[in-house]
C-alpha cells in the first residue's frame, strides 16, 4: 500500500507563503485542509543529515507559532520515547518545552502591561 501526502503552497510575488494546504490519500478527509505552518523533516541515513522544510504563512500570529512549537516539541519527545525508551531524555525534552512555553507567556504578560 502506498499513501500519498500532497502539500500545496501558494506564494506571493516575493515568494512568501500566503496559503498552505495539504491532504493525505489515507485520510478520512477528502478535501485539502488549510494550515498556517508546517515542519517537514527527512533523515538521510547515507549522509547522516537532516533535511527540513519549515514554512509559515504571513497571517500566522506569534502566539500561534509558540503553540505550534510547544506542541511539536512535546510530540517529538513522545515519538523519541516510543522509538528509544530513553525516558529520562524524554522528560528533559518535555521540561524544556514547558519552560519555553511558560517564558513566552511570561513575556507576553510583561508586554501587555507595558
109 lies in the same domain as 68: yes
Estimate to the nearest angstrom the gap between the alpha carbon of 114 and the chain centroid.
Answer: 30
Domain count, the chain: 2
> Are 20 and 8 contacting, i.e. CB atoms less than 8 angstroms apart?
yes
Q: Is the pLDDT of residue 113 over 90?
A: no
42 lies in the same domain as 83: no
Mean pLDDT of 23-28: 87
72 lies in the same domain as 86: yes
Tell me the pTM: 0.87
Phi-psi region of 15 (alpha: psi -120 to 50; beta: other; left: phi over 0): left
Sequence-distant (6+) residues with CB within 8 A of 111 are none
Length reported for the chain: 114
| Domain end position, chosen among 12, 30, 58 | 58
Closest CA to 77 of 63, 98, 56: 98
Q: Domain limits at 50?
A: 1-58
The β-bridge relationship of strands 49-56 and 37-44 is: antiparallel
9 lies in the same domain as 49: yes
| Mean of the per-residue pLDDT values of the chain | 95
Q: Summarize pLDDT for 44-98 with one digit per residue, the tens.
A: 999 999 999 999 999 999 999 999 999 999 999 999 999 999 999 999 999 999 9
65 lies in the same domain as 45: no
* Residue with the three cell numbers 508586554: 111
Amino acid at each position: 500500500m502506498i499513501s500519498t501526502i500532497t502539500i500545496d503552497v501558494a506564494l506571493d510575488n516575493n515568494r512568501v507563503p500566503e496559503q498552505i494546504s495539504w491532504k493525505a490519500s489515507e485520510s478520512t478527509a477528502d478535501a485539502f485542509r488549510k494550515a498556517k505552518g508546517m515542519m517537514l523533516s527527512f533523515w538521510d541515513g547515507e549522509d547522516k543529515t537532516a533535511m527540513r522544510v519549515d514554512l509559515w504563512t504571513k497571517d500566522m500570529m506569534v502566539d500561534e507559532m509558540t503553540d505550534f512549537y510547544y506542541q511539536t516539541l512535546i510530540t517529538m519527545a513522545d515519538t523519541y520515547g516510543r522509538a528509544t525508551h530513553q525516558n529520562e531524555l524524554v522528560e528533559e525534552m518535555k521540561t524544556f518545552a514547558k519552560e519555553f512555553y511558560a517564558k513566552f507567556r511570561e513575556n507576553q504578560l510583561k508586554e501587555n502591561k507595558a
